[in-house]
Amino acid sequence: MSVGIVSPREGLIASVLARLTPKGKDYSGQWVVFPERRPGYYLRKALAKREGSAFLSPRIDSMDAFVDRVYRERLGRRDKSIDALDAAALLFEIHRDAPGRLGGGHFLTADQFFPLGTRLFRDLEEMAAGSVSGEALSRSDGWSDESVPEAARRRLQSLSLFYERFYEILAGRGYSTPGSRLRDVAAALEPGVFADIDRIILAGFFPIAGGEAAILTAMAAWPNVDLLFQAGTGVGEALDRIGISDPGLIAEAMKVEAAPPEAVIEFVESPDAHGQVFALNAAMAPDLADPAGLDEHSVIVLPAAETLFPLHQQTLAALPAEAYNISIGYPLARTPISGFFDRLLELVQSADEEGRVYAPHYLRFLLHPYTKNIYLNGRADLTRVLIHAVEDELIARRTRAFWSLEELPNDAGIRAAVAERSRGVESAPDPAAFMAHLASIDAALIAPFRSIRDVREFASKLRAALTFVYDHSTARRHVFFHPYAEAFMDRLEALGRSLLGPTVFEDQASYFNLFRKVIAAGSVPFEGTPLRGLQVLGFWETRGLPFRQVAILDFNEDVLPASQRVDSLLPFAARRALGLPTYRDVERRVEYYLDTLRRGAERVRIFYVKSKDREPSRFVEKLIWERQKSLREPRASKLVRKVRYQVALQTPPLLPAAKSPEAASFLRTFVYSATALDTYLRCPLQFHRRYVLGLREREELGEEMEAKDIGSFVHSILEEYFGRFVGRRLRAAALDAAAMEALIDRRFAESFGPDLSGGLYLMKRQTRAHLLEFLTGYQKPILDGLEAAGKDLRIPSQDRICDFVVPSPGEARAWGPVFRRGLSSDRQVRPARAARRRPFRPGLQDFGPDDLSRDRF
Amino acid sequence: MAGAALTRFLEAVKGFEGRGRNDLREFLEFTGEEGKDAWTIDVPETIDAVKVMTIHKAKGLGFPVVILLLYGQQWQAPDFYLDAGEGSEGGVDGEEPSGVQVLKINKGLAEADENLKRVYDEARRRDQVNNLNTLYVALTRAESELYIVGVKGPRGKFPFDLLGGEYRSSPNLPPIRRPDREAAGERAPLRRLAGFFDAAADPRQSLNEESRRRGEFAHRILAEIEYVAAGWPAEAAAAASRIDPRFRAGASPEADEDSAGLVDAISAFFGQAPAAGFFEPRPGRRVLRETTFCDAAGRSVRMDRVVVDPDAVHVIDFKTGREPGLGDREQVLGYIGIVKDVFPGRPVYGILAYIDRAVWEPVE
């Protein structure tokens, strides 16, 4: 055995390189294991440089790959490898049959259980990898000195049941997991397993409690094994953890650790992510101007994947593709494919009992860029024409909320709208072809999800939908669509094949929930190969790599270290007692790798966001403090450069809008609605833009009815109700509340379907309550009073314009000496004096004649 | 350089994209309704202007001069009261949570019932404590001068009842030292690269999911076979059975039926000369399967099968699919160059083995 402490400046790769001895150009007798895959690319590049020719590569693995390879190739174990999806299914099986279920009455379906199952699996895997015994777990009542709360103790009892049952089932059914493989490999390791290997080098690890440490401990004593560690914060303790306590070695580690890092270090504080990127651009300006000079010894570290795209758009996209590598896992849920499926499943889920889909969701799905750019005759523009015609028509018929997929492509109104929209479009097909295209989109993407047999079929349908979009739309021309699509296909394929595959849900929504949770746990693996140029890496991907120039973005608390810490069902005390890594261990590891990264570099630029909800990482604070001490600078702010934007706080004064003759002429004949008056009172400029200039937002088909839609809808009910009284005497006895209720029921059912939910349900209740109150509490007393006084009330018509005049007191203002406008009235009743006009305006305050003050105009 | 508004806009886009959205119309909705905060631009700390903020925002901050506006407050009874009771605990421990009660209480009801009174009084006390805490924060932000402007209505007594009599300003105020501009730190230079850049999309016309998986499965089967002893059909079937089901040919179990077709195709193709000869054991022969070689630049390539004999080396590359690839020959020629470096002095031959087309194509 040889254990070496490597100075980060010297570099791990160089140190490994020096230990590799080939037979000619053949390194296949050497086996190198790093914590990650990426150092392997650096090592091969270094070997090529040394050889000056091609060569047969040594085996180079990450620790996970090493374990798998030993398990299969060396131990000959050929069982089926299962992942978190399968594990969630197995654990759910155990959960269902368990006497005292975790969570009591919760987590009763597989989709509800899935997030718990994946957390549980992580814990079980850690315990398996760390070879924790079931007895140790169930002996939790023996930890009297540990502050484990009672509830957590009971949870541990449940965990011990899961732990034992789960790995029993695995063994019984011929399955293995990463944790079980690590445990088995650690137990079976002996030099004979590697008889054909000349040398094994394990390099760059920072052992904390758990399975990895078990491997290192087991192999540390072998004669043909080298263990190489980089000097850095806490490495002495880490060595101790795997039983290496050579005083000379520890002293060497301490010596490097005590020496001040040589790197120039800069701190940049920014109010947001883009500020960091712009500051990075400025700092790297010479490199960005000469991309050929960028090499793999420069790195931009992204501990938060969310900054990848700002960086890509604002920095990397300016470089040729061969000038950089991206190696990071990007969350699937952040990709636009996830958004597309959200829209699709939202639509499917909106279907009522008759299978009719909710119009706003249908439209949202059609308007998604992937859907509206599906090719028709090889052209995406034609589909956009079609879909905007559908939009026009559905908005025009907005009170109709539910449509069946069969009637939409056969609707005469949509067909007419398509004909209208496509008129003049070059080489447009006839409306029938457009409508057939709409039907084909429905058939390919929506209809398959109306019935789902089981999870396997569901996953297969999702894959088919994605393949359809890939093959038939412009989506594949979007940047990164291909890797996103591949990652989705892999994830969905894994879901379909997993032990969850045969699961049948009663409720369709459960499939969709499961999908969302499965996607939330997945990521797109940007591999970043072949190795070239500037490196853009996640934090953990930097381990063991030699960088001269380092820039770390988002160096914030909750990012480094991550806020989730160890997302475990096991409390801290239990983890410690069981010998599992705690959040403190994880933080030590973060600190160690940060330290080695800094010690290896010539320049380190640290960027962090400081805003109302983000703070710099504790490690940044520590680094600043160290810097303050070394420079004897009491003010931390002197060491931090800040991103500041130009902000003009002065609001320019609102200039009066001079009226053109056309505007004045328009206003003279303009008929004011209550809404127009309201708009003017709120903001004259808005009134000018909306009514005089005629600018208005495009109407949308929203999920919630807008105030004006509610108003129109209610008005139409009142119109129908009072329509039968027009020209006749209106008597109090004729105001029939039951007829009004029946009318409301009928109109809602016609427009929104029989089963209302959410906002529509509440709206119906509100409408019923208000209209009945209007009828019985307001109209009826008036009629009673009139009848008592021997007077009649008649409705001559339901919609009429009346004029009124407001005289001006001499002084001419912008609006002229006489204000003469028309007001549209909901209905006219006689005698007018007996019943003051009261517009029915839900959601809008009444206003009286006083509000029409001339001065306010 | 970037102004605050452009950066704010880019941040809004980032937040929107982070939800997996890429629809312009939805972006307008998002920023118009859900994301009104997206347009909030924080005024830089160092700007030379009076800062206007709520007492809550001022927590932890200090200023040379503070002008504090206080409005008389009175107890505003909440719309409803939450009562969690005592000792309730729920969650994942197998016990049902006792729940939270939502109560609608007024003073009269509180007087009539001891439990309701407890809830009512508790809420009121909490409100008083909060008010006092807030007032404490407000009164302790000033470093040199504090001006309190009070707006006292007929009913709202707090905090004037607490502050007591009238306050007058001190006649001899010391001059206020302006904050040290340098202490704010140096400004970081910023650079926004001109223009927007088009990143090239992947030119592939199809995901080719099935054929990709089929190819991968074929390679895994062949990687399992060093030499064929028991005859090709048996060896190929046994090799296929050893492969983890995750890597089977089809993207679904239904499509696994294709595995049989692939095993048959492999057996038929490799069972005949000249392919069969490269799966036979021979003296001095060494077979490298799925082995990583590196070129002189350190780029790694994984070669499907390299048969190293004492007198020659053969590099065999397996291909599936009905059509030959455009770069197949160049790929194998590259391999030959690499292998020549590794085994100098021995002739190296390349072979393209098209399994589905049953074509054995030497490459020279």
Q: Which has the minimum average pLDDT: A202-211, A218-227, A826-835, B201-210? A: A826-835
Q: What is the mean pLDDT of residues A18-47?
A: 96
Asked if A337 lies within 8 A of B204 by C-beta distance, the reply is no
By Cβ distance, the residue of B96, B204, B293 closest to A54 is: B293
Per-residue pLDDT at B6:
86
Using CA atoms, how far apart are residues B257 and B210, in angstroms rounded to an integer? 13
Find the angle CA(A650)-CA(A652)-CA(A658) to the nearest 5 degrees. 170
Q: Which DSSP category does B228 fall into?
A: -
Q: What is the mean pLDDT of residues A249-275?
A: 87
Say if residue A458's pLDDT is above 60. Answer: yes
Nearest CA among A232, A137, A285, A217 for reference residue A605:
A285
Q: What is the dihedral of CA A583, A585, A590, A596, to 10 degrees?
A: 170
To the nearest whole angstrom, how far is the Cα of B138 from the nearest Cα of chain A?
19
Most confident stretch, A650-664, B2-16, B41-55, B243-257? B2-16
> Which among A462, A644, A699, A701 is the top mutation candidate for probing chain B, defined by the most B β-carbons within 10 Å of its own β-carbon?
A644
State pLDDT tens for residues A694-728. 887 777 776 566 666 777 788 888 888 988 888 88
State pLDDT tens for residues A371-410. 999 999 999 999 999 999 999 999 888 778 889 999 999 9
The number of C-beta contacts closer than 8 angstroms across A and B is 275
Higher pLDDT, A412 or B72: A412
Say if residue A369's pLDDT is above 90. Answer: yes
Structure confidence at residue B253 as a pLDDT band (50, 70, 90): low
Per-residue pLDDT at A366:
96
Per-residue pLDDT at B254:
52
Structure confidence at residue B298 as a pLDDT band (50, 70, 90): very high
Say if residue A469's pLDDT is above 90. Answer: yes
Residues of B in contact with A51 (CB under 8 A): 296
Q: Quickly tell me which residue has 């399992």 as its tokens.
A: B224
Asked if A103 lies within 8 A of B244 by C-beta distance, the reply is no
* Sequence-separated (6 or more) residues with CB below 8 Å from residue B236: B221, B225, B263, B266, B267, B270
Residues of A in contact with B43 (CB under 8 A): 647, 649
State pLDDT tens for residues A569-606. 888 888 888 888 888 888 999 999 999 999 999 999 99
Using CA atoms, how far apart are residues A74 and B223, in angstroms rounded to an integer? 15
Asked if B251 lies within 8 A of A281 by C-beta distance, the reply is no
Higher pLDDT, A163 or B210: A163
- In this structure, what token pair is assigned to residue A138? 């169930």
The string of DSSP letters for A515-583 reads HHHHHHT-EEEE---S--SEEEE-SGGGTT---SEEEE---BTBBTTBTT-S--SS-HHHHHHHTPPPH
Q: What is the mean pLDDT of residues A654-667?
A: 83
Q: Which DSSP category does A57 fall into?
A: P
* Sequence-separated (6 or more) residues with CB below 8 Å from residue A55: A22, A25, A26, A27, A47, A48, B293, B294, B341, B342
Residue of A nearest to B45 (CA): A644
> Which among A43, A53, A123 is the top mutation candidate for probing chain B, defined by the most B β-carbons within 10 Å of its own β-carbon?
A53
Using CA atoms, how far apart are residues B292 and A442, in angstroms rounded to an integer? 47
**Helices (H) and strands (E) in chain B — how many of each?**
10, 9
Q: State the pTM of this model.
A: 0.80
> Which among B252, B335, B339 is the top mutation candidate for probing chain A, defined by the most A β-carbons within 10 Å of its own β-carbon?
B252
Structure confidence at residue B176 as a pLDDT band (50, 70, 90): low
- In this structure, what token pair is assigned to residue A360? 């706003």
Say if residue B86's pLDDT is above 60. Answer: no
CA A85 to chain centre: 20
Phi-psi region of B20 (alpha: psi -120 to 50; beta: other; left: phi over 0): left
State pLDDT tens for residues A407-416. 999 999 999 9
Say if residue B88's pLDDT is above 70. Answer: no
Q: Which has the minimum average pLDDT: A255-264, A342-351, A720-729? A: A255-264
Using CA atoms, how far apart are residues B44 and A643, in angstroms rounded to an integer? 9
State pLDDT tens for residues B2-25. 578 888 889 999 989 888 888 888
Q: Do residues A648 and B47 lie in contact, with contact meaning Cβ atoms separated by under 8 Å?
A: no
Q: Which has the minimum average pLDDT: A333-337, A826-830, B149-153, B199-203? A: A826-830
Contacts 24+ apart (CB under 8 A), A475-480: A475/A369, A475/A370, A475/A373, A476/B201, A476/B202, A476/B204, A476/B205, A477/B201, A478/A336, A478/B22, A478/B201, A479/B199, A479/B200, A479/B201, A480/A335, A480/A524, A480/B199, A480/B201
> Which among B40, B46, B92 is the top mutation candidate for probing chain A, defined by the most A β-carbons within 10 Å of its own β-carbon?
B92
Say if residue A302's pLDDT is above 80. Answer: yes
To the nearest whole angstrom, how far is the Cα of B167 from the nearest Cα of chain A?
33
Structure confidence at residue B76 as a pLDDT band (50, 70, 90): confident
State pLDDT tens for residues B320-342. 988 888 899 999 999 999 999 99
Q: In this prediction, what percent of chain A has a pLDDT beyond 90?
A: 52
Q: Do residues B307 and B313 lie in contact, with contact meaning Cβ atoms separated by under 8 Å?
A: yes
Q: What is the mean pLDDT of residues A101-119?
A: 75
* Sequence-separated (6 or more) residues with CB below 8 Å from residue A364: A343, A346, A347, B26
Nearest CA among A701, A831, A788, A762 for reference residue A387:
A701
To the nearest whole angstrom, how far is the Cα of A364 from the nearest Cα of chain B?
9
Asked if A274 lies within 8 A of B292 by C-beta distance, the reply is no
Say if residue A421's pLDDT is above 70. Answer: yes
Asked if A460 lies within 8 A of B187 by C-beta distance, the reply is no
State residue A752 phi and psi, 5-degree precision. -125, 5
Q: Is A702 exposed, middle or buried (0-12, 13-18, 19+ CB in 10 A)?
A: middle
Helix (H) or strand (E) holding A77: none
Most confident stretch, A321-325, A839-843, B96-100? A321-325
**HSE-CB for A730 with a 13 A CA cutoff:** 27
Say if residue A100's pLDDT is above 80. Answer: no
Per-residue pLDDT at A810:
40
Residues of A in contact with B295 (CB under 8 A): 48, 54
Q: What is the mean pLDDT of residues B300-317?
A: 96
Say if residue B256's pLDDT is above 60. Answer: no
